[in-house]
Chain A
Amino acid sequence: MKCEELQDYYELYAMGVAGEPEGDEIRSHLSRQCEVCMAGIKRARAFTSFLGNTAPAMAPSPQLRRRILASVGFEQRRFGMAPFLGFALACALFAAFYFSGREREFATIALRLREQLGQQTVELTRLNEAFAILNGPDTTTVSFGTGQPAPPKGRVFVNPTQGVLLIASNLSPAPAGKKYEMWVIPKGGRPVPAGLFQSEADGTAMHIRRGAVDPATTGAVAVTLENEAGALEPTMPILIVAPLQ
């Protein structure tokens, strides 16, 4: 048969349903490398594949994929553990984030406690120094402010080896930029600065000037209000005067 007579059968041949004698004839042309029939059959195969797309689209079960892959020994990664692993990872990230936050919080608390401990240590040292002066057998005690309407009142303790301790009440906190300054005034000499201090909100104050002091040559202990940087000479008026002699 001629190619023209076979061309109506190319598609049927491509589908495997050409029947005879047309199927045999096409097979014979193809075996002879007939270019017309080879091109026609190639086109017919493409056509046949198009027909495959006319089947209504349906979805197989999800297990089918696993079955096919298992038949070639391929174990698929399943989702089985994935949610749990994801959850565990999320928990780990949350814990890391949470505890890193807690760690920072603990560090802040520890720092604050260390600062408080340092302050309390300083305060304790001051109290020990104050007790040493108060309990010294050779400490001289002088009161001040008694008999005045609302003056600062208190006492000054002078110990030859430990120093001078001032304890006062009714001493209002110094205004901003100001501080109280204690002076040790030798007999017949110029006042010597003995340190700056501030009173508490309730008007109490305690100040220590450490170091040896000779009560015999000290005429008085005084307090003035000065700039917070302190002064070399007392500024009038003198708020507290405690004469030792």
Chain B
Amino acid sequence: MMFLPLWLAIHVAGSDSELIGRLQRHDPQALAELYDRYGRLTYSLILRVVRDTGVAEDLVQETFMRVWNRAQGLDAQKGSIGPWLLAVARNRAIDYLRSAGGRERNALEFEETDHPSLYIDMERDILSSDKARRIKSAMERLSPNQREVIELAYFEGLSQTEMAERMGQPLGTVKTWVRAALKNLRDELGPAVPA
């Protein structure tokens, strides 16, 4: 059950080029298909960030609208719509979290993370269930502090300075945890993440 969204995404990945083309032509049926493939995954990610089902649904809707309006920027042949969609969803959710918490955000860096042209040639690797299992397994093997800093970075969009404040730890300690956590994950996923 947990991997159903991934399973759905994997089994339809082959026709992403055609789907992107139809989204670029603003075919509403393509948006329906995109939602059927990635709707649950997108919702799961956003809910993990905002922890409110009503807000999560609103943000899912915003995410799909943003993708609908910006699909022209995606490479129809090599574009990886799933990872891009997740990046947009994460940014929407963290934007909400920051504005609700009265925090500033680094608009420049976030804008850079979900530009559609950055997402090419990564679809099959990213969304295969085997890789998803590996990342989950790798996360579970991290120490609690290492796992926490990664989750704070990814699901809450905190910088290392913000993490240090949140955790009440010296910045140097947090940087050590982040560096160690990323190294462990890289080592675990090395062959799974293409250069």
Interface residues of chain A: helix, strand, loop or mixed (majority): helix
> Would B194 and A60 count as touching, CB distance under 8 A?
no
Q: Which residues of A contact B6 (CB under 8 A)?
A: 53
Partner of A8, one of B32, B36, B94, B179: B179
Q: How far is the CB of B88 from chain A (nearest CB, A)?
A: 11
> Would B47 and A74 count as touching, CB distance under 8 A?
no
Which residues from chain A sit less than 8 Å from chain B, CB to CB? 8, 11-19, 23, 27, 39-40, 42-43, 45-61, 64-65, 67-69, 71-74, 76
Complex CA distance for A54 and B189, rounded to whole angstroms: 14
> Would B157 and A51 count as touching, CB distance under 8 A?
no
Q: Which residues of B contact A72 (CB under 8 A)?
A: 26, 28, 31, 65, 68
Complex CA distance for A57 and B2, rounded to whole angstroms: 5
Known contacts A13-B109, A53-B132, A58-B40: A65-B35 contact under CB 8 Å: yes
Asked if B4 is at the interface (CB within 8 A of a chain A CB), the reply is yes
> Would A58 and B47 count as touching, CB distance under 8 A?
yes
> Would B61 and A64 count as touching, CB distance under 8 A?
yes
Asked if B100 is at the interface (CB within 8 A of a chain A CB), the reply is no
Which residues from chain B sit less than 8 Å from chain A, CB to CB? 1-6, 26, 28-29, 31-32, 35-36, 39-41, 43-45, 47-48, 53, 56-57, 60-61, 64-65, 68, 82-83, 86-87, 89-91, 94, 106, 109-110, 112-113, 118-119, 122, 125-127, 131-132, 135-136, 139, 150, 153-155, 157-161, 178-179, 182, 185-186, 189, 192-195
Q: Which residues of A contact B43 (CB under 8 A)?
A: 58-60, 64
